[in-house]
Structure 1
């Protein structure tokens, strides 16, 4: 939902451009990604921003695969860099092993996933099975309805993931082609407002020769269980943080995207449709026509019965 006062700032851009622009505005220190349809335009735009000198204090690492891309970001994040990647489908699956390392080492790496079906047969169109297959890797996952939300969620997930009580990696999941390649009106993030909203990343624990620490060491079962328990605690702490950050974002930018769960015409509803992603726009059109209702959410362990928000 956009404050009418901001509608005059709208420009028509491709979804991938809006996401790349939002990434630039979040001031990453290291970007590493491997091109794969339909994510490629995101990193193409970022590469152009880098070539034009629009992303200061940032290094773009060219790699030979998605496995290498996420591995490079694990190292960069461990030394205190704000990091970013983007991928989709088989590319995300190729990252699978390292996704566990990132979350287990409590590294707040952020990536955009342009959701796409996984083969075989080869299919480049939209499906959420690529990110849903990573459900248990310990990454936060936020699913978005439109391009505006895809861009606006990036600074929010950085702020959530980099919180000292959370320190978990996160994915912003946007429907491939349907959102990544569509041209629609968007309010692009402004640098000054984003700087006021998203502080610089200064993690408490980093790899530093002057202060040696161990990341991702061997752990016997009792220690391993403790690490996993702490990860689960961090995931639970992220739930209220997602809500509070969404409200803080609204105060600064005048746009609100519902936090964890949002509702649409729920009053006196007899049927509730639960969904996520760009299909929400279609469902809302049906709701408007047939006077039903909609509850939509990003996946979370939170009890949905306690989470319904009024329209």
Structure 2
């Protein structure tokens, strides 16, 4: 099953009641399959056709406000067009779940893998899950709804363009009854109801606005606990256990490679190769980026001497976004490792196991790593900026 179809089946098993989306490469197959499921009656949901991604998110916001479980999916420029309404969904405390297939932002026009589109939305109040394979994509949908509907915040499930979205893998799709036992129906405490009129997002004065923003922050921190609970319950029910940060050969590692998404596959292979060479390497894969799992990162990272962070994204002028978050989380922590940030693979450029090994060796040998950002894999090193 392709990653796109894994998203669709996750929505099916989660019994979504409203789907609204606008097609964009490489997301299109997600909503094509959901549209077919709705048309044939396989999915008992309302499929709302719209003229843009902005309208798709508006439809999901309206549907969720009435008490329906809603779903959408997008990518790149479509996600950027949704930006205003991403804030609205979070501010209204509506647990919309959305799949985002990572694709580079234009210009120049590019349809390949790049995490900048989703990470550029990190301050909107949406939780974010980064998946490494198609089984995880499917499993993350009911997990996302379970957490989102508990803390009343929206959640984004993120997967790599083409590497996951269009690549077929064996995926275990459990029965509807099994998923129903894990994910109860959505039953919000408040909703739009003509018999019990309420408003969502009405004008407030400064003090209540400030308090409402504090409540969102508190809910985001509570989500870390809810993710732990949801992962544990999922593991007990289905035999697959996830965590906010996934680890590989980390217990005695002196150097930890840190990355997210499908890049973790090549990173695991690099860890095995480096171990064979005598370098005590390990891997941390950030699965949940928002809320950022600071306590777990500190517990895992302080065992190592250095971190080799690879970002398939860029915040211009500040380097890779995961490296920024990791530096912030570890700042001032006794025994914190040195951090060497790397940017690679933008716009779908290849990131090989050999490149991971090279970055790890360079990180291990470097006299100092502090505040360093290294661009890897450039075919030519441009000598000018224009």
Aligned to 1:33: 21
Against the structure 1 CA distance between its residues 217 and 174, is the aligned structure 2 distance closer, same or farther, given a 3 Å change threshold? same
Rg: which structure is higher? 2
Displacement of 1:307 in angstroms is: 5.3
Displacement of 1:16 in angstroms is: 1.3
Indicate conservation of the 8 Å contact 2:261/2:285, yes or no. Answer: no
Higher relative CO (Cα under 8 Å, sequence separation at least 6) belongs to 1
* Cα distance in 2 between the residues matched to 1:18 and 1:301: 25
* Cα distance in 2 between the residues matched to 1:306 and 1:286: 23
Aligned to 2:159: 174
What SS does the aligned partner of 2:170 have? strand
Which residue of 151, 174, 196 maps to 1:211? 196
What SS does the aligned partner of 2:157 have? strand
What SS does the aligned partner of 2:185 have? coil
Aligned to 2:284: 295
1:267 corresponds to 2:267: no
Which residue of 195, 209, 212 maps to 1:224? 209
Aligned to 2:175: 190
* Cα distance in 2 between the residues matched to 1:288 and 1:19: 31
* Cα distance in 1 between the residues matched to 2:169 and 2:292: 33
Which residue of 15, 22, 27 maps to 2:3? 15
Structure 1: runs of 5+ lacking an equivalent: 1-12
**For residues 92-117 of structure 1, what are the alpha-carbon distances to aligned partners after superposition, in whole Å with 9 as ceiling and x for unaligned?**
00000011110000000000000111
Against the structure 1 CA distance between its residues 86 and 139, is the aligned structure 2 distance closer, same or farther, given a 3 Å change threshold? same
Against the structure 1 CA distance between its residues 178 and 309, is the aligned structure 2 distance closer, same or farther, given a 3 Å change threshold? farther
Indicate conservation of the 8 Å contact 2:256/2:301, yes or no. Answer: no
Against the structure 1 CA distance between its residues 140 and 63, is the aligned structure 2 distance closer, same or farther, given a 3 Å change threshold? same
* Cα distance in 1 between the residues matched to 2:193 and 2:245: 40
- How many residues matched? 294
Against the structure 1 CA distance between its residues 55 and 203, is the aligned structure 2 distance closer, same or farther, given a 3 Å change threshold? same
Aligned to 1:238: 223
**For residues 158-210 of structure 1, what are the alpha-carbon distances to aligned partners after superposition, in whole Å with 9 as ceiling and x for unaligned?**
000001xx100000001111101001111113211100000000100101111
**For residues 259-296 of structure 1, what are the alpha-carbon distances to aligned partners after superposition, in whole Å with 9 as ceiling and x for unaligned?**
21121001211101111100001100111122221112
* Cα distance in 2 between the residues matched to 1:240 and 1:19: 24
Against the structure 1 CA distance between its residues 218 and 307, is the aligned structure 2 distance closer, same or farther, given a 3 Å change threshold? farther
* Cα distance in 2 between the residues matched to 1:222 and 1:191: 45
Aligned to 1:44: 32
1:279 corresponds to 2:263: yes
Displacement of 1:306 in angstroms is: 3.0
* Cα distance in 2 between the residues matched to 1:192 and 1:167: 25
* Cα distance in 2 between the residues matched to 1:152 and 1:307: 25
1:82 corresponds to 2:73: no
Aligned to 2:127: 140
* Cα distance in 2 between the residues matched to 1:41 and 1:29: 19
Displacement of 1:90 in angstroms is: 0.3
Displacement of 1:221 in angstroms is: 1.6
Counting only pairs closer than 5 Å after superposition, residues 84-123 of structure 1 correspond to structure 2 as 84-123=71-110
Displacement of 1:309 in angstroms is: 11
* Cα distance in 2 between the residues matched to 1:309 and 1:86: 37
Structure 1-normalised TM-score?
Answer: 0.92
Structure 2: runs of 5+ lacking an equivalent: 276-280, 304-386
